[in-house]
Amino acid sequence: MLTLNKFEKAYDKVQEIVLPTKLIKSDYFSEQTGNLVYLKPENMQLTGAYKIRGAYYKISTLNEEEKVKGLITASAGNHAQGVALAAKRQGVKATIVMPTTTPLLKVNRTKDLGAKVVLYGDVYDEACEHALKLAQEKGFTFVHPFDDLAVATGQGTIAMDIFKELPTVDYILVPIGGGGLATGVSTLARLLNPKIKVIGVEPAGAACMKASLEAGKVVSCEHVNTIADGTAVQTPGKKIFPYIQNNIDDIITVEDEELIPCFLDLLENHKMLAENSGLLTIAALKHLKAEGKKVVPIISGGNMDVITIASLVQHGLIIRDRIFTVSVFLPDKPGELTRVSRVISQAQGNIVKLEHNQFVSINRNSAVELTITMEAFGTEHKNKIIKALQDTGYKPEIRSSKSVF
């Protein structure tokens, strides 16, 4: 049983290693949602995610024989780094099995923390199966990333942090992959205040917990497809599932496309970097059926490689019409390009890319295609630029966002 006494012991223990991640009042998200939003920035934690809490507490509960055997776990990245650092601090050797799709940043950081990394499988579940096989063959002590009550207890210390700062919290939004974090947070929250609402948030492409709750038992997703790699889990934990059933009030599923503008929102308004799984609760704010409530979305992690960051920024700018592409047809004669550029300049558009196709038509005098990619301040400004082109006699056609870059 997960008891208040166990959570209190875990809370005291993890203070040896965790950084204080104080709540941040978000005026921006509060105005957007009509609630009082306080961010819980676990992306600012040691190793860039909350996972250090559960890993450190779990290892502290092992006996000397279990530690001497060495540890093994499977993880898409954040639990890997948590176990690696916790094991290093407690003088224990660790082997981490990671999916081959794990971002390079997470792989390298895990190695830098002293753990041995084995890449196996395309998703977490395949990596986990391999880790269990190695544990049996070599006698390692397996540390499950979520289906372990000690790990869940350590993760749940986040709820203690929240209540210490905001005892009148109404809603806590928590990401769900396998369910360890949600188990710990929701169980402790219920013990501290039975009236609180704890809402789980899953990527729509990996909603195994939602499917399990609807089925009344643990079931697996047939396919997992999401950019939220930290929560790309096919099967939730069986040991923790009863706690989820009892303590989670609802589950919100979020489409991958919703995470992209949230990335920009957090970066621009709070100068904060969060990975896709950490953005789930931010995206869920707009789905929450509440108003005037004190809401705490847990930003679970911030580990993201530079290539992914660049991709999110580009796609975010496209979605918000801050970068867009149009094509216009014009006669192939001197001065036409200058004329088009002048119209865009006077409308305060900024051209970032031009493609001049002289071979779109046999009659070059009547039809030369000019494709223009430009920056705008947003949808209203984009429409203003397009209207300026139309008023000058051009017939701009909006190009697919996929052709922008």
Q: What are the residue numbers of the active site?
A: 51, 300
Ranges assigned E (strand) in 210-293: 250-254
Q: Do 355 and 371 meet the contact criterion of CB atoms below 8 Å apart? A: yes
Distances (CA, A) of 334 to 85, 330, 337, 338, 340: 65, 11, 8, 8, 12
Beta-ladder partners of 87:
none
Strand 294-299 relative to strand 36-41: parallel, antiparallel, unpaired? Answer: parallel
Q: Do 298 and 73 meet the contact criterion of CB atoms below 8 Å apart? A: no
SS3 310: helix
Q: Do 374 and 350 meet the contact criterion of CB atoms below 8 Å apart? A: yes
Q: Do 299 and 262 meet the contact criterion of CB atoms below 8 Å apart? A: no
Q: How far is CA 13 from the centre of its chain?
A: 27
Token pair recorded at residue 63: 């006996």
Task: Please tell me the distance from the alpha carbon of residue 299 to that of residue 266, in angstroms, as a whole number.
Answer: 10
Token pair recorded at residue 338: 């200058």
Write out the DSSP string of 39-85: EEEGGGSGGGBTHHHHHHHHHHTS-HHHHHH-EEEE-SSHHHHHHHH
Amino acid (1-letter code) at residue 286: K
Token pair recorded at residue 313: 């920024």
